[in-house]
Amino acid sequence: MTNSIAPVALEETASGQKADFPYQPISQGRLIWRRFTRHKMGLTGFFIVAFLVLLFTFAEFIGPYNYMQSHSAYPYVPPMITRVHFDGLQPFVYGLAKKQACVIYGSKCQIQPGVWDYTEDRTKKYSIRLFVRGEPYQLFGFIPTNIHLFGSGEAAGSPGQFFAFGTDGNGHDLLSQILFGGRVTMAIAPMVILISFLLGTSIGGLSGFLSGRADTLIQRAAEIFMSLPRLALLLALAGILTHLGYIPAMVRFWSIVGLLSIVTWAPISRVIRGQFLALRESEYTQAARAVGAGSGRIIFRHIMPNIMSYLVVAATLAVPDMIILESILSFLGYGIQHPLTSWGYLLYNFQGSGFFFQIQFHAWLLIPAIFIVITVLAFNFMGDALRDAVDPYTVSEVKEGLR
Between helix 265-279 and helix 304-331 the angle, nearest 10°, is 170
DSSP 8-state class, residue 70:
B
Q: Which of 378, 347, 388, 309 is nearest to 52 (CA)?
A: 378
The reported pLDDT for the residue numbered 106 is 61
CB 95 within 8 A of CB 126: yes
Listed by start position, the domains of the chain span: 63-172, 180-401
Q: Report the distance separating Cα 186 and Cα 274, nearest Å.
A: 30
CA–CA gap between residue 170 and residue 69 (Å, rounded): 9
- Report pLDDT for 107: 65
Q: What is the pLDDT of residues 118-158, one digit of tens each?
A: 888 888 899 999 999 988 888 887 889 999 999 998 888 88
Contacts of 242 (CB under 8 A, 6+ apart): 333, 334
Would you tell me how many other CB atoms lie within 10 Å of the CB of residue 90? 11
pLDDT of residue 13: 46
Reduced DSSP (H G I as helix, E B as strand, rest coil) percent helix, strand, coil of the chain, to 5: 55, 20, 25
What topology is assigned to 180-401 in CATH? MetI-like fold (1.10.3720)
CA nearest neighbour of 134 among 71, 84, 77: 71
* Pairing of the two strands 85-87 and 23-26: unpaired
Exposure string of 371-391, with b = 16+ CB inside 10 Å and e = fewer, is bbeebbebbbbbbbbbbbbbe
Instruction: List the pLDDT tens digit at each of the 403 positions of the chain.
Output: 444 444 444 444 445 554 555 556 677 778 778 888 888 899 999 999 999 999 999 999 999 999 888 888 898 999 999 899 998 889 999 999 888 777 666 667 767 777 788 888 888 899 999 999 988 888 887 889 999 999 998 888 888 999 999 998 888 999 999 999 999 998 898 899 999 989 988 898 888 888 788 888 888 888 888 887 877 877 787 777 777 777 787 888 888 888 888 888 888 888 888 888 888 878 888 888 888 888 788 888 888 888 887 888 888 888 898 899 888 888 887 788 888 889 988 988 776 667 777 888 888 999 999 999 999 999 999 988 888 887 655 534 434 443 4
DSSP state, 173?
B
